[in-house]
Amino acid sequence: MGCIICCGLGPGDPGLMSVRADREIRAATHVAYFRKKDQLGQARRIVDGMLAEDVREYPMEYPVTTEIAFDSSDYVGLLASFYDEWAERLAQLAKTTNVVVLCEGDPYFYGSFMHLHARLKGRVAIEVIAGIPGMVGCWNAVGQPIALGDDVTTVLMATLPQHELERRMRNSDALVIMKTGRNLAKVRRALNAASRLDDAWLVERGTMPTQRVARLRDVDDECPYFAVVLVHGRGRRIETDA
Amino acid sequence: MGCIICCGLGPGDPGLMSVRADREIRAATHVAYFRKKDQLGQARRIVDGMLAEDVREYPMEYPVTTEIAFDSSDYVGLLASFYDEWAERLAQLAKTTNVVVLCEGDPYFYGSFMHLHARLKGRVAIEVIAGIPGMVGCWNAVGQPIALGDDVTTVLMATLPQHELERRMRNSDALVIMKTGRNLAKVRRALNAASRLDDAWLVERGTMPTQRVARLRDVDDECPYFAVVLVHGRGRRIETDA
């Protein structure tokens, strides 16, 4: 009887993976990971050079592209079948062997693996190994404390309506905005309306070799890949005793 | 010329430390860490058994206890001198050797090291190694996704006034409440007023051998050590296709 081992990969730099995830991935005989159609996939790329030569790989290719509206019933139906099928397949595999599932960031924090987790729980033994969330890698890339003292930190998805983003941006010290991509223009307008644009950073592929860190106001392109927007809190600093 | 290497230790389980932090800590010749007076300290405890036999240790003992009010000028003054002195001492040390500074969780996320970082920046080379924040270890201990879909996640310090906590608890999907300790009764009242108490979890020492996970409503003691309160979001789940 095997089990499913979901390894949080952290933000992208393999050196930031946990000691335990590193060990499980190197020892894996069966590895599954999500990816978009016809792409190698970010998760798979992070473990490049770590997998055993005879490892069996199971790329779980999303059945939809961004062409289908996010909240359409077609989209939800396609995704549900996709997760159902892969849950079944992984459960069958785990009858005879351990299967390592690769997950960017931390699996419990907005992670797609959770849709499999909900379907596999109770059917098969599952171990989840925590990882450094992508946003943590991004604020480390900027190199300033994201929050201190009694700062309030709010994590927002850029998919929310602009007025909702703006209201929450006004109402928090530190801000993390994820799933930016095509929503970056909206995020920029909301930050501007909330008077936070000048303090905002854009971090693309934080901790990866192709990392980019820039002031959001200096960024021209509207659709960066895998980017997080950050606004730092201003929490209690203990000033030098003068 | 040496440098300061600040290692994020993660939530407590040494297996959740990053590969890079693990390597730096095992190779360290000089190690500094914060601790309360007369205690071994959580950071030092996490690396037990990892340090070289002839390592030189620099416990940075906080000069104050919780007896002094948090926002008094005495408190701030004492802390400022403390950080000034240790920044000076570490800068001197780093002239001739590398110094590893141990930090629980992730150094840039509400971490005390940032008070040294602000004083050392520009004077000496500093490397910061990201870690899994304590809250991530805590929600992994519960074993449910803290947030999914377009959930809003808010991180609150329990030191905030009750009405402020309550307002923000009403106004977020997922909640993380840190620095609970003596503020737990207030947190409980605020959650109750915001109708979130029944969904709240208390996690003490998440991922450590003495971890405790409980529904907050079932917890009697008012002052647990090193505890985080969590309320999970209810974000978009992709239901099984029926």
Q: So what's the ipTM on this one?
A: 0.94
Asked if A152 and B152 come within 8 Å (Cβ–Cβ), the reply is: no
Q: Which of A106, A117, A149 sits opposite B136 (nearest CB)?
A: A106
Asked if B239 and A18 come within 8 Å (Cβ–Cβ), the reply is: no
How distant is the Cα of B212 from the closest Cα of chain A, in angstroms? 17
Phi, psi of B28 (to 5 degrees): -65, 140
Per DSSP, the residues of B84-145 read HHHHHHHHHHTTTS-EEEEESB-TTBT-THHHHHHHHTTTS-EEEE----HHHHHHHHHTS-
Asked if B80 and A239 come within 8 Å (Cβ–Cβ), the reply is: yes
Give A71-89 pLDDT, tens digit per residue: 677 778 888 999 999 999 9
% residues pLDDT > 90 (chain B): 79
Predicted pLDDT of residue A238 = 63
Asked if B154 and A151 come within 8 Å (Cβ–Cβ), the reply is: no
Name the CATH topology of A135-231. Answer: 3.30.950
Query: At A70, is the pLDDT very low, low, confident or very high (cuts 50, 70, 90)?
Result: low
Query: At B239, is the pLDDT very low, low, confident or very high (cuts 50, 70, 90)?
Result: low
Q: What are the angstrom distances between the C-alpha of A82 and each of A38, A44, A89, B195? A: 16, 19, 11, 36
Percent helix, percent strand, percent coil in chain A, to nearest 5: 35, 25, 45
- Judged by a CB distance cut-off of 8 A, whether residue A159 touches chain B is yes
Strand extents, DSSP E, chain A: 4-8, 30-35, 56-61, 99-103, 126-129, 153-157, 174-178, 200-204, 212-215, 227-231
Query: At A181, is the pLDDT very low, low, confident or very high (cuts 50, 70, 90)?
Result: confident
Asked if A140 and B106 come within 8 Å (Cβ–Cβ), the reply is: yes
The residue of B157, B237, B238 whose CB has the most chain A CBs within 10 angstroms, and thus the best one to mutate to test that interface, is: B238
Predicted pLDDT of residue A164 = 96
Q: What's the whole-number average pLDDT of chain B?
A: 92
List, in sequence order, the alpha helices (H) in B171-218.
184-193
Predicted pLDDT of residue B155 = 98
> Which residues of chain A make contact with B119, given a CB cutoff of 8 A?
240
Lowest mean pLDDT segment, chosen from A26-30, A152-156, A165-169, A217-221: A217-221
CA atoms within 13 A on the CB side of A123: 16
Decide which of B235 and B106 is more confident: B106
Query: At A3, is the pLDDT very low, low, confident or very high (cuts 50, 70, 90)?
Result: very high
Q: Which of B79, B110, B238 sits opposite A238 (nearest CB)?
A: B79
Residues 198-217 of A with CB under 8 A from B: 207
Asked if A152 and B132 come within 8 Å (Cβ–Cβ), the reply is: no
Query: At A1, is the pLDDT very low, low, confident or very high (cuts 50, 70, 90)?
Result: confident
In the CATH scheme, what is the code of domain B4-132?
Answer: 3.40.1010.10
Asked if A148 and B118 come within 8 Å (Cβ–Cβ), the reply is: no
- Judged by a CB distance cut-off of 8 A, whether residue B63 touches chain A is no
Phi, psi of A115 (to 5 degrees): -70, -30
Phi, psi of A114 (to 5 degrees): -60, -30
**pLDDT, mean of residues A198-227:** 88
For the cut 80, the answer to whether the pLDDT of residue B71 exceeds it is no
> Which residues of chain A make contact with B155, given a CB cutoff of 8 A?
147, 152-155
**pLDDT, mean of residues B72-87:** 88
For the cut 50, the answer to whether the pLDDT of residue B213 exceeds it is yes
For the cut 80, the answer to whether the pLDDT of residue B121 exceeds it is yes
| Contacts of residue A202, Cβ cutoff 8 Å, sequence gap at least 6 | A180, A212, A213, A214, A215, A216, A219, A224, A227, A228, A229
Query: At B226, is the pLDDT very low, low, confident or very high (cuts 50, 70, 90)?
Result: confident
Give B90-104 pLDDT, tens digit per residue: 999 999 999 999 999
Query: At A98, is the pLDDT very low, low, confident or very high (cuts 50, 70, 90)?
Result: very high
Decide which of B233 and A241 is more confident: B233
Give A185-197 pLDDT, tens digit per residue: 999 999 999 999 9
Predicted pLDDT of residue A155 = 98
Residues 162-201 of A with CB under 8 A from B: 168, 171-172
How distant is the Cα of A217 from the closest Cα of chain B, in angstroms? 23
Q: Which of A15, A130, A238 sits opposite B83 (nearest CB)?
A: A238
Predicted pLDDT of residue B69 = 59
- Judged by a CB distance cut-off of 8 A, whether residue B114 touches chain A is yes
Q: What's the whole-number average pLDDT of chain A?
A: 92
For the cut 60, the answer to whether the pLDDT of residue A241 exceeds it is no
**pLDDT, mean of residues B33-48:** 91
Question: Looking at chain A, which residue has its C-alpha nearest residue B131?
Answer: A132
Asked if B16 and A11 come within 8 Å (Cβ–Cβ), the reply is: no
- Judged by a CB distance cut-off of 8 A, whether residue B241 touches chain A is yes
For the cut 80, the answer to whether the pLDDT of residue B8 exceeds it is yes
Predicted pLDDT of residue B97 = 97
**pLDDT, mean of residues A105-111:** 96
Give B137-174 pLDDT, tens digit per residue: 999 999 999 999 899 999 999 999 999 999 999 999 99
Q: Which of B16, B76, B108 sits opposite A139 (nearest CB)?
A: B108
Predicted pLDDT of residue B38 = 79
For the cut 60, the answer to whether the pLDDT of residue A242 exceeds it is no
- Judged by a CB distance cut-off of 8 A, whether residue A157 touches chain B is yes
How distant is the Cα of A232 from the closest Cα of chain B, in angstroms? 10
For the cut 90, the answer to whether the pLDDT of residue B75 exceeds it is no
Break chain A into its structural domains and give their ranges.
4-132, 135-231
> Which residues of chain B make contact with A118, given a CB cutoff of 8 A?
237
For the cut 70, the answer to whether the pLDDT of residue A28 exceeds it is yes
